[in-house]
Chain A
Amino acid sequence: MRIAFLLAVLAGGTYYTYVAFADLNFLTRTGRLGPGFFPRSIGVMIVLLTIWALSDALRQGRGDQADAGRWRDVVMLMALAVCYAVTLRVFGGFLATVIYLAVTLAVLNRGRPVQNALLSVIVPVVIYLLFDRVLNASMPPGLVDILPI
């Protein structure tokens, strides 16, 4: 996974450098440093250093074998967070938060349905009151407005 992540950084760095050389000028027409000067320098350094780090990682071999249990929990939390981002757009801030907390707590905090139900309602209400009423900051609106808030 470490090597895969470094390869992803290398791919991103290479694309960044390609755009810097292809689309951005090193100098302006008046001979001053242009918009490509900094990106080209940074891009080349990212590519070179990532290749170096990658060769180090390859030499060290596959030393990052983690147990599946660790990954299962973190991947689940990430997946639930991404689902929350999607439901946020559909149902709006309040309802999406209630749904997200209800599902996530049901998965992570098993065997405590009353505590989970209370938290799933109380936390969004407190956050709604804090953001929308006290701080006058907007909560995400939903495409489907089920609740009047």
Chain B
Amino acid sequence: MDVFGDLLMGLSIAITPINMLYLLIGAIVGMVVGVIPGFGPSAGLAILLPVTFGMDPTGAIMMLAAIYYGAMYGGTITSILLNTPGESATVASTFDGYPLAKKGRAGPALVMQAVASFVGGTVGVILITILAPMFSQVSRSFGPPEYFLLAMMGMLTLVVMIGTNWKLGLISALIGFALGTVGVDLETGQGRYTFGSAELIGGIYFIPVAIGLFGLGELFYSFYVGMHRSGSGGIVQYDKEASFWPSAEDFLTTRMTMVRGSILGFVVGVIPGAGATIASLMAYSTERSVSKAPEKFGTGEMAGLVAPETANNAASSGAMIPLLTLGIPGSASTAVLLAAFMLWGLRPGPLFMEQNPELAWGLIASMYLGNMILLVISIFAIPLFVQIIKVPYRILGPIVVVICTLGTFSVHASFIETYLMFAAGIIGFFMRLYGFSPAALVLALVLGPLAEEALRQTLTISRGSGMIFLERQASLWIIGVTIVLVIVLPLMSRYGRSSGTAEKAGT
């Protein structure tokens, strides 16, 4: 079947009333998660994953994916109205989003961010539709050496992007790898770090760790920085402005910005470890450098808001490519999505789209519909999300603790896993506080067993020789790309961040 036929088949699956309902719930929940400062898509996905267990796999995956990309839409509302990014990928949106709101253009800024998010997300899905089958074809020639190298590429790029704290990022990743070795060794049947406990034979379960680190850990950190004490008094009153809708000039002046942001964001999103935050910062600095009036950036320039918005949404779509076609998650959020696939007995990889066409194409088709739903919601339901921003953290906090706890218990009805979640929450808080990376830990926990298995298979094939990595063309390509990324990405990210800092300083 051709791509168009596959997509139509996917649409026929996604458009059923029940799946549309799941998609709508996912989009709304994603926006809510994005709106709450301190909670990103990783936390939202981890906390809500157990809720999907009673659902049909296709609907569940569609809903979780909608939470994932929906968070990008929601995160910007607080960037514009409160100068507080809902999550890290919308930091760049504060540079011009908040100045626009202060200038009395909050309404047009909110609408333009929704349109930009829609364009970025939709261009991203179009590129997935075209490129995912091609990536699947290419990755079919990959063997254990390539899978090991891809896993290492994801980890390395994530660690180098951490910046000055790369040592702590690497330690976090190594702790994740270490936790991934707990359980029975599949090759020899020998128990590792089980200490005679039946609960540990199957290994340390991913969900309690992810919920603890991202849910409780982030919540404790938010309390530490005093978010429960700060009110929402600084919200810009957008509903008292003269015009809510953007002008024709806003659309005309930013049309090429949307194209550049979408393509750049998608490409960065495909790279394991890079992610939406880097994409948005890079898009901002690129737009500033091509602008005829770069001095206006940071003072409320519409292109300065549109560029990061298209990029972070396109990046979140791009990150689905390595997930679906290689089974390699490039970020903590896609690691949680991978865990969701695995819970349903699905293993993304080169044959995934061929063996599970209904689910794969249903998911891709649902992303087109999800972006449309999110466009409508993020324009017309702004008052609702403003009300959510106003819910004080001191009320939200205890409720999040309850949802994390009961959600973890519901997975396997296990008190041990619930206590593990609490322990991960406390450790996650200290990791966050002292500059460690919970995201690197979670990604390594998922990639660790895969990397170990691939490495052992590789060295068995090569009879212990590491030269196999230099003898295979595909391996050489991956090594080359990894070296380039490890050198180039931190430089580009630093440039993006410095541009943003310059804008902030200028305002």
Q: Which residues of A contact B (CB under 8 A)?
A: 1-2, 5-6, 9, 13, 16, 19, 24-25, 28, 32-35, 37-39, 42-43, 45-46, 49-50, 52-53, 56, 64, 66, 70-71, 73-74, 77-78, 80-82, 84-85, 88-89, 93, 97, 100-101, 104-105, 108-109, 119, 123-124, 127, 130-131, 134-140
Contact = CB atoms under 8 A, between A and B. Distances in A.
B409 A139 contact: yes
Contacts of A66: 224
A9 B171 CA distance: 9
Given A37-B456, A45-B174, A53 B181 contact: no
Interface string B83-101: 0000000000000000000
B54 A135 contact: yes
B178 A16 contact: yes
B190 A82 contact: no
A52 B167 contact: yes
B434 A140 contact: no
B220 A88 contact: no
A101 B395 CA distance: 9
Given A74-B220, A85-B405, A53 B171 contact: yes
A70 B224 contact: yes
Contact of A135 (B51, B185, B403, B419): B51
Chain A at the B interface: SS class: helix
B192 A105 contact: no
Interface size class of B (residues with CB under 8 A): 35 or more
Tell which of A53, A89, A101 has the most Cβ of chain B within 10 Å: A53
A42 B394 CA distance: 40
Given A45-B174, A88-B405, 14 more contacts: A2-B434, A33-B460, A34-B188, A74-B429, A77-B397, A80-B401, A84-B402, A85-B405, A100-B398, A108-B394, A123-B399, A137-B54, A140-B406, A140-B413
Nearest to B193: A19
A28 to B, nearest CB: 6
27 contacts: A1-B434, A5-B434, A19-B193, A28-B187, A33-B455, A38-B177, A43-B178, A46-B175, A49-B167, A49-B171, A50-B171, A53-B167, A66-B224, A70-B224, A73-B223, A74-B224, A78-B220, A81-B422, A84-B405, A88-B418, A104-B397, A108-B228, A130-B51, A131-B410, A135-B410, A139-B409, A139-B410
A85 B418 contact: yes
B414 to A, nearest CB: 10
Nearest to A45: B174
Nearest to B399: A123
B406 A77 contact: no
A24 B192 CA distance: 7
Given A28-B187, A73-B223, A108 B410 contact: no
Nearest to B220: A74
Contacts of B429: 74, 78
Nearest to A108: B394
Given A46-B171, A93-B406, A97-B402, A119 B193 contact: no
Contacts of A25: 190
Interface in B185-202: 185, 187-188, 190, 192-193
Contacts of A35: 185, 187-188, 190, 192
B170 interface: yes
Contact of A108 (B168, B397, B456): B397
Contacts of B231: none
A56 B178 contact: no
Interface in B411-468: 413, 415, 418-419, 422, 425-426, 429-430, 434, 452, 455-456, 459-460, 464
Contacts of B53: 135, 137
A37 to B, nearest CB: 7
